[in-house]
Amino acid sequence: MTILHLAVLVVVVVMLAHHAIQFTLLGLAVRAMIRRPPRRVGIAHGPAPVLPPVSVILPAFNEAAGIVASVRAILGSRHPDFEVVVVSDGSTDDTVDRLVAAFGLVPCTVPDHGPLDHQRVRTAWRSPLVSGLLVLETDNGGKASALNAGVSAARGTLVACVDADCLLERDGLARATRPFIEAGGDAVIAVGGSVRVANGRLWQAGRLNVTGRGPGLWPLVQTVEYLRAFAVARLGWSEIGAVTLVSGAFGVFRRDAVLWVGGYDRSTIGEDMELVVRLHRRHREAGRPCRIVALADPIAWTEVPHSLDVLRRQRTRWQRGALETLWRHRVMLVDPRYGRPGRIGLAAGVLCDVVVPVAETVGLVAMPLLWMTGALSPAHWLAFLCLGTVTGVAHSMGALVFDELGMRRITRTRDLALLGAAALIENFGFRQLVAWWRVCATAQWLAGRGAGWGAMPRRGLADPLAG
């Protein structure tokens, strides 16, 4: 057996293990949905009477295109007690000016620095018209710094960290805060919401409406990816208590727990995953109860990259963030006291984030080489290709069917059909491209080459005709 044969064998085993994990997660998600189907927040269209107070923190860097719509969406939330804290992280565009104009903000006393590490707060604004809206302008220090500034200034028992380009559904906050009271104590320290792709929709009159314009090919493919990740995988991990990532786009945390572990780490680019893993680690080391859950029904809608270049930068950042966290908390992989988050969640992270992209890329190179040298028959090559493609398609279609039966948030039949087509198309080029980007990001990380956030241009979801 040659090295190429061995490589192909390893690739096939790794890919089969990867798909086995994905289908197991799909099964677990189905079990979670059967056990706890999404509920209406209140039978009489009202919120539950007792929910803990929440501070919604929006870190914003040059988010002028969508910041007003995002804040309006949150202000329209059906939750009895919440405030909104927007932290402009040294924005150089008119993010703050738009907020000042939209909500009639006036300068107010800058709140105390607080216990967490963040950049200096230059100015603070409050609205005399809208109670519970606080805007902080800080020196530029990155997303973690902005989030720390927001958590420091927050007054709520819970903090909901929401990306400034996200639009929160009206029931999103109420749904995401329920597990904290249903658990009846300190057990639940974080809840991850679900993030969906809003490209092709417009924020009009307080609602996110579908429009005639399509989302475009890349956002369509990303929609399938997001469904797999948020509607299925996170729910599956949550079912076995092994959630290691609460997306920075929408997550709710107990404020005291975040303060206890020192807030977001400013030295990593994947601050959301790092915080969640550190929460698991510190709580388990101290023998404190710790449960982090993911739900499918609290939904935030986000605008995903339109172009491949922006998408590449985003995926490179995600990959580096995951690698940094995995490396920093590698002890959790082997030490049994860290339980399922370490031995299952992080171990799966190593397989899916580190091994699978490399294996997929090696397979793509090794199989044609073996075929050309006559070491692999065309029939076998085709069979392996077919198996890889079919399992990918089946997994994506499974996610679509699961979402359709459990959540039913895809508004139009045409969109569902298009997503079905995207589930097929993504296996011919897109998936391989993403794997290649992840391999490159891994190589850059190993070489110690730095990477920043880079510009993330937004089109904005607000209706341009609405002014």
The minimum distance between CB 90 and another protein, in angstroms, equals 46
Select the span of 55-63, 181-189, 285-293, 387-395 touching another protein (CB under 8 A).
387-395
The reply on whether position 409 binds another protein by CB under 8 A is no
Q: Which is nearer to another protein, 17 or 108 (CB)?
A: 17
Q: What is d(CA 444, CA 456) in angstroms, rounded to the nearest whole number?
A: 20
* Among 91, 222, 316, 391, contact with another protein (rule: CB under 8 A): 391
* Among 181, 383, 443, 466, contact with another protein (rule: CB under 8 A): 383
What token pair was written down for 349?
Answer: 């992270």
Residue 327 buriedness (CB in 10 A; 0-12 / 13-18 / 19+): exposed
Q: What is d(CA 240, CA 17) in angstroms, rounded to the nearest whole number?
A: 18
* # residues contacting another protein (CB under 8 A): 25
* Among 17, 100, 108, 401, contact with another protein (rule: CB under 8 A): 401
The minimum distance between CB 267 and another protein, in angstroms, equals 43
Q: Which is nearer to another protein, 240 or 387 (CB)?
A: 387
The reply on whether position 420 binds another protein by CB under 8 A is yes
* Among 183, 387, 425, 456, contact with another protein (rule: CB under 8 A): 387
Q: Which is nearer to another protein, 381 or 436 (CB)?
A: 381
DSSP state, residue 462: B
Select the span of 114-122, 125-133, 221-229, 375-383 touching another protein (CB under 8 A).
375-383
Residues 6+ apart with CB under 8 A from 138: 87, 88, 89, 90, 118, 119, 120, 121, 122, 145, 146, 149
**Is there a contact between 163 and 248 (Cβ–Cβ < 8 Å)?**
yes
The minimum distance between CB 377 and another protein, in angstroms, equals 6
CA 216 distance to own-chain centroid: 21
CA angle 226, 228, 234 (to 5 degrees): 95
Q: Which is nearer to another protein, 44 or 50 (CB)?
A: 44
DSSP state, residue 335: -
The reply on whether position 129 binds another protein by CB under 8 A is no
The reply on whether position 55 binds another protein by CB under 8 A is no
Integer CA distances (angstroms), 102 to 110, 247, 383, 442, in order: 21, 28, 59, 43
The reply on whether position 398 binds another protein by CB under 8 A is yes
Select the span of 178-186, 400-408, 448-456, 457-465 touching another protein (CB under 8 A).
400-408
Q: What is d(CA 123, CA 109) in angstroms, rounded to the nearest whole number?
A: 8
The DSSP string of 242-287 is: ------TTEEEEEHHHHHHTTSS-TT-S-HHHHHHHHHHHHHHHTT
**Cα pseudo-dihedral 164, 166, 172, 178, rounded to 10:** -50
Select the span of 82-90, 257-265, 360-368, 371-379 touching another protein (CB under 8 A).
371-379
* Among 400, 407, 439, 462, contact with another protein (rule: CB under 8 A): 400
The minimum distance between CB 36 and another protein, in angstroms, equals 13
Residues 35-54 that bind another protein (CB under 8 A): 40, 43
Select the span of 100-108, 322-330, 359-367, 388-396 touching another protein (CB under 8 A).
388-396
What SS3 state is found at 190?
A: strand
* Among 352, 404, 444, 451, contact with another protein (rule: CB under 8 A): 404
Select the span of 145-153, 201-209, 317-325, 385-393 touching another protein (CB under 8 A).
385-393
Angle between helices 3-35 and 378-406 (to 10 degrees): 10
Q: What is d(CA 220, CA 197) in angstroms, rounded to the nearest whole number?
A: 8
* Among 380, 409, 433, 456, contact with another protein (rule: CB under 8 A): 380
Residue 467 buriedness (CB in 10 A; 0-12 / 13-18 / 19+): exposed
Strand 167-168's sheet: what is its strand order? 106-108, 121-126, 133-138, 82-89, 54-60, 158-162, 250-254, 188-197, 291-302, 167-168
Q: What is d(CA 202, CA 246) in angstroms, rounded to the nearest whole number?
A: 26
The minimum distance between CB 76 and another protein, in angstroms, equals 21
The reply on whether position 130 binds another protein by CB under 8 A is no
* Among 101, 405, 443, 466, contact with another protein (rule: CB under 8 A): 405
Residues 6+ apart with CB under 8 A from 64: 91, 93, 94, 95, 97, 98
The minimum distance between CB 55 and another protein, in angstroms, equals 33
Binding site for another protein (CB under 8 A): 40, 43, 376-377, 379-380, 383-384, 386-387, 390-391, 393-394, 397-398, 400-401, 404-405, 413, 416-417, 420, 423
